[in-house]
Amino acid sequence: MRVAMYYNNKDVRLEEMPTPRIGPGELLVKVLASGICGSDVMEWYRIKRHHGCLAMRSRVRLQKSGRE
């Protein structure tokens, strides 16, 4: 799967990652659109707290369900 990975405000990369395996009670979704919180772009605030994907509100499509 392709992801937009955040490293810092001047370094956001499109990368390939393996599609995660889901377990019972989990969902695999495809993100169609996503919004970013204003505090997420304040690099001094978040750079030491989070490395990875950012999303405050997302529109998603269910890809797979891990039934219990």
In whole angstroms, what is the distance from residue 28 CA to residue 53 CA? 15
The total domain count for the chain is 1
4: tokens are 């937009």
Does the reported pTM lie above 0.75? no
48: tokens are 């030491």
Q: For the segment 1-45, what is each residue's pLDDT rounded down to a tens digit? A: 888 887 777 888 999 999 989 999 898 888 888 777 776 667 656
In whole angstroms, what is the distance from residue 35 CA to residue 56 CA? 6
Residue 59 lies in domain: 2-65
14: tokens are 């499109």
